[in-house]
Amino acid sequence: MPNNKSTAKRVRQTQKRTVRNRVVKSQVKTAIRHFEDLLPTDKSAAEDKLKLALVTIDKAVTKGVVHKNKAARQKSRLMKKFNKQ
């Protein structure tokens, strides 16, 4: 339990950020999963999902949820999978 106002505020801010970060991370994972599910069956639909996944990853970086190097690595791996098919 916080002992003063500033620490109580930090707790509230941390809770808000945690929820927001969890939502963004979930969106990234979902976009990647949708792409990977479509890849073996339909390449044109997978291409659309790939674009959506790349945009979602970039948005996560701008919000500070994902580090830019991690995002670059994820995007690179997705492109590699797409080009391999």
Report the domain count for the chain: 1
pLDDT digits 0-9 by tens, 43-75: 999 999 999 999 999 999 999 999 999 999 999
Residue type, 76: S
Question: At 37, which CATH number?
Answer: 1.20.58.110
Domain interval for residue 46: 5-84
Whole-angstrom Cα distance, residue 5 to residue 68? 34
pLDDT digits 0-9 by tens, 16-44: 999 999 999 999 999 999 999 999 999 99
**Length reported for the chain:** 85
Tell me the C-alpha to C-alpha distance, in Å, between residue 57 and each of 6, 11, 28.
33, 27, 6
Q: What is the pTM of this model?
A: 0.87
The single-letter DSSP state of residue 2 is -
Residue type, 37: D
Whole-angstrom Cα distance, residue 66 to residue 28? 10
